[in-house]
Chains A and B, each alone.
Chain A
């Protein structure tokens, strides 16, 4: 450990740390644009310049590339440092278009924040701003505005160092420099591409599908876990704040996912996530199963539960296909209740779709289900030859979740289906009970490393649908097996 001083206050740094890293650990925020704790140091924005007191005279340099030395006396807010920051802000905003009124980054923009904190003055320039491409399609997903870009190179370094797609670069030079994807637009194939939207300190990189979708200050972020694979990245699901709900429009808009961003979790995903997490609305907002059914005729929830109870009572050979999207709580509830009445197998509710990356050494795992780890701790896995899971005399199959191997289920067996989505195969169910999705309740998943992470409820349930955990309790307590009469 190295002892030194920041603004007169004693601090410690680990060997090899730079001043900006040590300052961050000490809770001192030195502003930066180009520096990011998870990327290499380019030292190009110059906003992090600090003063170092020395006998021969103070010297000034960027804190992001300044190794901490013993006894160093760093000043982060001296008069000269403030002057340097003002100069830097003048340069950064020199040709930056004042697009705030129409720019999606407004409200979460580092440039806005640093401008007001460190400059706050109008431009000293009397010459017109330079112009560059606006609305450049960096990929199918991301729009680039070169005028707003401050050339921090975070996006390029991300593709060099984290996603390793090497798909972005800087062409030309001087103030004609432009961020560009390589001409094969390999960036379309980078499943981590959207992380650059988060780390861009200005509104130069924006999601095309979310362009002008909503002002960030109308949204709130609810911590959750991405169910897209067994990495279980921590994410924030953004949705409309209740005080900003839209009265005049479709009420669905008030309970939909506005966007998904990574939630920093050093143990699981760091500050990143993959594009599948960004597109979670494609999973959660598929047409829902909201209506209980008995033999394909609409029924109320109570009638459906009764019908299901009757089937369980009547069966002598029952098999359950357990959802690998069930939360820890739901799995435990099934295990301690109905689990005793069924021979249970964990299925993979989701498998990789064509074109989806299977696995890599960044984040993406091959198993596209969030909770197989917890499920397999309690139940066996469904064999590859699914038919072998069903003895010849199977008379009842409980299907929980999606992805059941319907063709392997004996046609003579009755089926109780607990599902969230309206899918064609639902007609096979003798009893269908709709259940809630992750965003409609609290719970936990256990990822492939055994790390348990919580997800929180974002939305109320749309309709009278069941939560699986309590449903299992109810079914269990209703069956005669509980009463011990069988």
Chain B
């Protein structure tokens, strides 16, 4: 994580003095953006850099759903299955995705391309059903659009 420190130092400037603890979450996000997950080494480095108890970082990584301690597939397909999305076809789409990808929620395809997850409300109920791939929302979906999306993502993935 050490190569990210200059970036972290610029962030510090906007915070009041004594707010080092606050940097745990943004730093973990940046580390994960860079590595794909937060490694044990990152935790040790971040503990030292911020001067917070190590357990605080371990707790944060376990509490928030977006943080990962292990790598996952290239494309994290996160399908909302909350109320409005379920009312507009999410459950059917989930079945469709499971069939298409051959995995259950929580699993990664054997070629490492796709990890499938079900997630709670992403505040996109007006364009339901929808899903998020990594950081990008894909809205107003149906099976055809999902198929097209998977195809486009597969093509992008370089073997």
Contacts and interface: CB of A to CB of B under 8 A. Distances in A.
A34 B12 CA distance: 36
A167 B56 CA distance: 10
A182 B52 CA distance: 12
B53 A171 contact: no
A183 interface: yes
A182 B59 CA distance: 9
Contacts of A181: 55
B34 interface: no
A172 B62 contact: yes
Interface in A138-175: 166-173
A176 to B, nearest CB: 9
Contact of B59 (A167, A169, A184): A169
B19 interface: no
Nearest to A180: B58
Contacts of B55: 166-169, 180-182
Contact of A172 (B40, B53, B56, B63): B63
B70 interface: no
B41 to A, nearest CB: 12
A168 to B, nearest CB: 7
Interface in B14-69: 40, 43, 53-56, 58-59, 62-63
Interface residues of A, number: 14
B96 to A, nearest CB: 29
Contacts of B59: 169-171
Nearest to A165: B53
A479 B63 CA distance: 76
Contact of A171 (B40, B43, B63): B63
A438 to B, nearest CB: 38
Nearest to B61: A171
A184 B62 CA distance: 16
Contacts of A166: 53-56
Interface in A163-212: 166-173, 180-184, 186
A172 B60 CA distance: 8
Nearest to B40: A183
B63 A173 contact: yes
Q: Which of A170, A171, A172, A181 has the most CB of B within 10 A?
A: A171
B62 A182 contact: no
A332 B114 CA distance: 81
A193 to B, nearest CB: 14
B53 to A, nearest CB: 4
A171 B54 contact: no
A78 to B, nearest CB: 37
A374 to B, nearest CB: 40
A460 to B, nearest CB: 47
A277 to B, nearest CB: 26
Contacts of A169: 55-56, 58-59
A183 to B, nearest CB: 6
A183 B58 CA distance: 8
A423 B70 CA distance: 55
Nearest to A174: B63
Nearest to A170: B59
A186 B59 CA distance: 15
B87 to A, nearest CB: 25
Contacts of A167: 55
A166 B59 CA distance: 12
Nearest to B57: A182
A166 B57 CA distance: 12
Contacts of A171: 58-59, 62-63
B63 A184 contact: no
Contacts of A182: 53-55, 58
A180 B55 CA distance: 9
Contacts of B62: 171-173
A191 B26 CA distance: 34
Interface in B50-95: 53-56, 58-59, 62-63
Contacts of B53: 166, 182
A169 B62 CA distance: 11
Nearest to A159: B55
A269 B21 CA distance: 32
A184 B58 CA distance: 11
Interface of B: 40, 43, 53-56, 58-59, 62-63
- Across the A-B interface, give the 7 residue pairs with the lowest CB-CB distance, nearest first: A171-B62, A166-B53, A169-B55, A182-B55, A169-B59, A182-B54, A172-B62
Given A166-B53, A169-B58, A180-B55, 18 more contacts: A166-B54, A166-B55, A168-B55, A169-B55, A169-B56, A169-B59, A171-B58, A171-B59, A171-B62, A171-B63, A172-B63, A181-B55, A182-B53, A182-B55, A182-B58, A183-B40, A183-B58, A186-B54
29 contacts: A166-B53, A166-B54, A166-B55, A166-B56, A167-B55, A168-B55, A169-B55, A169-B56, A169-B59, A170-B59, A171-B58, A171-B62, A171-B63, A172-B62, A172-B63, A173-B62, A173-B63, A180-B58, A181-B55, A182-B53, A182-B54, A182-B55, A182-B58, A183-B40, A183-B43, A183-B54, A183-B58, A184-B54, A186-B54
